[in-house]
Chain A
Amino acid sequence: MRDVAVVGAGMIDFGELFEQSFDDMAERAYLNALDDVDKEISSDDIDAAWFGTLDIAENASSGLGLSHPTGLFEMPVTRVENACATGSTAFRSAVEAVRAGSADVALVLGAEKMRDSAGGLIEGASLEQVWRGRGVTMPAFFGLRATRHMEAYGTTREQVAEVSVKNHENGAKYPHAHYRFTCSVEDVVDSPQVTYPLNLYDCCPVTDGAAATVIVSEDVVDEYTDDPVWVAGSGLATDTFQRGKDESLAGFPATRQAAEQAYEEAGITADDVDVAEVHDCFTITELVTYEDLGFCETGEGGAFVESGTPHLDGEKPVNPSGGLLAKGHPIGATGVAQVNEIYEQLRGEAGAVQVENDPEYGLQHNIGIGRDATGSVSCINVLSKHRP
């Protein structure tokens, strides 16, 4: 199998982009990614593309959804849909194809129009299935973990809120973030209740966005950059709480499985991860993800964030970009943008949110909802400054 490197990353400013169409966003993210490649790259160099979108606003249900805005016709385009792990799964799929030799230069493009339609997710989640998902909205899926985590481990409401405070602090410095304000623990716990125990500031916004990444094989990497970031490992797993495992009541076994795969492939442990972009659709999601990824022991996520370890200037910075809570969560673009952030962090090009621990390994993580369960899918990609 060949080694694979990231050589270009582009995104657009995330936000309420009513003035931009799906194609406007995708085109700009793609051009930004090409511009980002150190040495010259042309669209003719691209052999194949992977396209991540849930197509919530229905612009893109075939590969043409990528070809049309980018002009990349007459080549394989694979559309990937994997709930909130759509972007990271698209990246992983492209990496596997380049590794296997079916392409030398591949584009990963993730895009989502979240603001163009008002219905969608909430109605589907609440009404579609009588027993399995009835009346269960996104904040409920995750809030169930929060209630249980607080009961089982004595995690405090304030510790959960700390995640939001941290990520908004980072997001305020991050140029592409949807929300660029800071908030206090009091602001979070006093914000309007959405689904007890989660309040408004525990929830990520509804955000439009697009992001693109260029990856290449070891055979051609020198043509594009002298400073590649290598893909070290990846993991992907599914789960449902209906299997009756108690650990799924306060955590996400799918993340544990995906992390085990990714760490093994990269030949590292959780201790080697220097910076991470993880799924924080809600504050509690990031807090339990610290535990699921092995950054701290089970039950200690609250103390971990309170200690400052995952802060920008901490020992193990998590979500330097502000995460989904501040940056936003345009589903298909989310994982791709996280990969891009890790790429910039490892190259030392992350600007105002550059971590200071001279990172060698960076991890990107998404978890998704599907059918009846949160944590129904988890995808993790590990990037490295060093060739595996």
Chain B
Amino acid sequence: MYEPPFTRDRDANERLAARECDACGWVSFPEFRDICKRCESVGEWTDTELEERGTVQSYVVQQRLPDEFETPLPLAIMDVPQTSGGDPARVYGLFTETDPEHIDIGMKAEADFRRVFDVDGLPVHSFKFKRPRGDRL
């Protein structure tokens, strides 16, 4: 069975679909709420899409995780811009194919569509981040 949470979140997980608050510009991602978490108004929203590239705001390198994960696993808080401009979304970014030595605050990272893990034998797809090809060391 494909679990309901992953089905509900498919647009966000698989297409980086988001919404922008018309009142304050905050980006709701990966959720589609009516109440804005920044200005707290029940605002109007505009559908938007995120770029497949973001900027690292902070990061860690996880060394000990359940078997489902690759380790060492760099993980960052990312600012991911909207394709149409405006404020970026602030999200967690799992990294892949990235040497822990080569991750830094301020670096740009590209989103790559990947299978992140399986639920009851069925794959859950979403984005992981890595150094842009041109910047690869």
Contacts and interface: CB of A to CB of B under 8 A. Distances in A.
Q: Which of A147, A151, A194 counts the most B-chain CB atoms under 10 A from its CB?
A: A147
Contacts of A193: 61, 63
Interface string A123-146: 100110111111111011001111
A146 B65 CA distance: 20
Interface residues of A, number: 36
A241 interface: yes
Given A136-B75, A140-B60, A147-B59, A131 B68 contact: no
Given A241-B77, A241-B90, A130 B60 contact: no
B75 to A, nearest CB: 6
Name, among A127, A134, A151, the residue most crowded by chain B CB atoms within 10 Å (CB to CB): A134
B113 interface: no
Interface in B68-89: 68-69, 72-73, 75-77, 87
B58 A132 contact: no
A240 interface: yes
Given A143-B60, A147-B60, A131 B77 contact: no
B105 interface: yes
Interface stretch (A11-19, A45-53, A242-250, A354-362): A242-250
A352 interface: no
A72 B75 CA distance: 47
A242 B94 contact: no
A195 B62 contact: yes
B2 interface: no
Contacts of B48: none
A134 B105 contact: no
15 contacts: A122-B65, A127-B66, A130-B30, A133-B92, A135-B65, A135-B69, A135-B92, A135-B94, A144-B75, A148-B57, A195-B61, A196-B60, A196-B61, A241-B90, A243-B37
Interface of A: 122-123, 126-127, 129-137, 139-140, 143-148, 151, 193-198, 240-244, 249-250, 372
Given A126-B66, A126-B68, A134-B92, 10 more contacts: A130-B5, A130-B116, A131-B9, A131-B30, A135-B65, A135-B75, A137-B62, A144-B60, A197-B60, A372-B92
